Amino acid sequence: MNGAESLVATLINNGVEVCFTNPGTSEMHMVAAIGQVEGMRSILGLFEGVCTGAADGYGRMAGKPACTLLHLGPGLSNGSANLHNAKKANSPVLNLIGDHATYHKKYDAPLTSDIIGLAQPVSHWVRTTETAANLPKDAVDAVVETNTGAGRIATMIVPADCAWNDSSEPLAMQAAPAPGLVGEAAVGQAVELLKNGKATMLLVGNMALTERSLELANKISQATGARIFCDTFFKRMPRGEGRCQIERLAYFAEQGVEQIKDMEQLIMVGTKPPVAFFAYPGKASEFYAPNSALHTLAGVDQNAEDALSRLVAALGADHLEPIKTKLNKSPKGTGELNPRTVAMSFAHYLPTQAIVIDESATAGGGCYPSSAESEPHDWLTLTGGSIGFGLPTALGAAVACPDRKVVCIQGDGGAMYTIQSLWTMARENLDVCVIIFANRKYQILQIELARVGAQSMTKKTLDMLDIGNPDLNFVQLSEGMGVKATRVTSIEDFNSVYASAMTTSGPQLIEVVLP
């Protein structure tokens, strides 16, 4: 058994069932090893950012890692932006990066690069395998790392000769350590804060954003009057009928500051204190007032659900019934086709157990509030701010959850970064509906231009933020990659095409041309 075969068998033993790949010569023995076995599905992407984004979506929905298989340093680089997003989401992702044979590196052949250097900024854990015999152990360590805490990015660099040389036997399943429990003092301090009469908010993320965690937070809110918030961008949130609603922090700094300006105390549960996405001249970076009390009940990697449960008990709030959302669908949009009416229809037809991937930026901003009382669904957002996340993450979520409809609400600018995702959706016949909000500009940047105090509004400046001229034709782009597509210019057409998409299976794209 060569190293690649033992590696793949070990990964399968450890629950890794899917490989998103764009391989090259240095990965060929791993390609062959995956090709010989039943237990790992291989899914080809035409660009590595598709693979890593897909692994993020898969990890968020499956709660365990897929692996990526990428070609040396440049293959990793092409996937790095979506690894950055996945790292900020604390998604479990395992990267396998092929490298030159150990003895070949010294020659500085064209594809030689500092892979470790490229991997570290987008990984929690990086290891270069030294011998074929080490591969099974390295693989187990990597999988354990991905499943540690809230989830992590592990990157294994596999020299080609380690893959092709004789190796040791595959290793069995090894469980990751359970997320750490928070100490009694942290719970006790939260109790004190919640009982001292001051205005208090809980900011919840990661393991505090499960359905059960939200119910616990709801009880705390009922018992103490605390407000419950999530970050602007989060890994995954259960929403809609039967789930407990919370508030969401705004994107723009001044709005976020305004939202929580009365909060004297912030308790973080599974996340960090809230700050602005960008700095702006003369504005504060923190959303919270300088004299606010900050308390972390549970860090990102701690068992936030357990912490909330103990906090509920300490507050004597166990007996409370969480207030759950009742189904109250938005009416469908009528009249003009615009972001508001599309958001209404989006929410109206959203089917039960849908997975919503949100990279809709400005034009789709109405979809989140409009669907608060829709059928139960999960909502995934762009945690790292690097656009090009939507399409591949939708792809990966659909692989993880083949029985659920994935709806990707996607700005046109972001869509173009990883547009190759459509081809893989077609090839794998994934149940994804992509809604492109085509406003033909980087609208968020046109807003930001004024907000940062840059005074130039020359045509030359605005052209750098404008993706019209020529207008993109997403129907042709989509059909060119095998995904059926429709362009809509009226709300009636949108309703008809989208309603149909929600009741049929398979990939399709709707280009919504906004006025």
Q: Scan residues 388-427 and list those touching a copy of itself (CB under 8 A).
A: 388, 413, 416-417, 419-420, 423, 426-427
**C-alpha 198 chain-centroid distance:** 34
| Binder of a copy of itself out of 166, 255, 463, 489 (CB under 8 A) | 463
Interaction of residue 25 with a copy of itself, rule CB under 8 A: yes
| Binder of a copy of itself out of 386, 439, 443, 495 (CB under 8 A) | 386
Where are the alpha helices (H) located in 363-510, listed in sequence order?
367-370, 390-400, 412-415, 421-427, 443-451, 459-463, 474-480, 491-503
Pick from 281, 282, 251: which is nearest to 443 by CA?
251
Q: Please, which residues have CB within 8 angstroms of residue 396's CB and are 6 or more apart in sequence? A: 20, 53, 54, 55, 56, 57, 58, 59, 61, 66
Per-residue tokens: 33: 């090893």
| Binder of a copy of itself out of 65, 256, 364, 384 (CB under 8 A) | 384
How far, in Å, CA of 287 to CA of 299, rounded? 19
CA dist 220 to 175, 315, 477, Å?
33, 8, 49
**Judged by CB, which is closer to a copy of itself: 244, or 509?**
509
**Judged by CB, which is closer to a copy of itself: 140, or 438?**
438
Interaction of residue 229 with a copy of itself, rule CB under 8 A: no
| Binder of a copy of itself out of 473, 506, 513, 514 (CB under 8 A) | 473
SS3 content of the chain, % helix, strand, coil (to 5): 40, 20, 40
**Judged by CB, which is closer to a copy of itself: 46, or 293?**
46
Interaction of residue 294 with a copy of itself, rule CB under 8 A: no
Interaction of residue 31 with a copy of itself, rule CB under 8 A: yes
| Binder of a copy of itself out of 316, 328, 480, 490 (CB under 8 A) | 480
Report, in Å, the least distance between residue 282 CB and a copy of itself: 10
Pick from 176, 218, 172, 215: which is nearest to 63 by CA?
176
Interaction of residue 26 with a copy of itself, rule CB under 8 A: yes
How far, in Å, CA of 498 to CA of 410, rounded? 14
**Judged by CB, which is closer to a copy of itself: 111, or 320?**
111
At residue 105's C-alpha, the angle toward residues 103 and 109, to 5°, is 125
How far, in Å, CA of 491 to CA of 493, rounded? 5
Interaction of residue 458 with a copy of itself, rule CB under 8 A: yes
Report, in Å, the least distance between residue 429 CB and a copy of itself: 10
Report, in Å, the least distance between residue 333 CB and a copy of itself: 27
Pick from 128, 131, 134, 140: which is nearest to 161 by CA?
131
**Judged by CB, which is closer to a copy of itself: 215, or 301?**
301
**One-character DSSP codes across 224-248:** H--EEEE-SS-S-EEESTTS---EE
Report, in Å, the least distance between residue 124 CB and a copy of itself: 13
**Judged by CB, which is closer to a copy of itself: 162, or 226?**
162
Pairing outcome for strands 484-488 and 237-239: unpaired
**Judged by CB, which is closer to a copy of itself: 52, or 221?**
52
Per-residue tokens: 107: 């020659």
Report, in Å, the least distance between residue 189 CB and a copy of itself: 23
Interaction of residue 10 with a copy of itself, rule CB under 8 A: no
Residue entry with tokens 């208090």: 200
Report, in Å, the least distance between residue 380 CB and a copy of itself: 14
Neighbours of 108 (CB within 10 A): 10
Segment 312-371, which members bind a copy of itself (CB under 8 A)? none
**Judged by CB, which is closer to a copy of itself: 109, or 175?**
109
Compute how many residues bind a copy of itself; rule: CB under 8 A: 103
| Binder of a copy of itself out of 3, 6, 11, 47 (CB under 8 A) | 47
Interaction of residue 286 with a copy of itself, rule CB under 8 A: yes
Segment 101-140, which members bind a copy of itself (CB under 8 A)? 101, 103-104, 107-111, 113-115, 117-118, 120-122
Segment 231-270, which members bind a copy of itself (CB under 8 A)? 233
| Binder of a copy of itself out of 1, 15, 17, 74 (CB under 8 A) | 74
Interaction of residue 178 with a copy of itself, rule CB under 8 A: no
Any idea how long the chain is?
515
Burial pattern 388-416, b for ≥16 Cβ within 10 A else e, equals bbbbbbbbbbbbbbeebbbbbbbbbbbbe
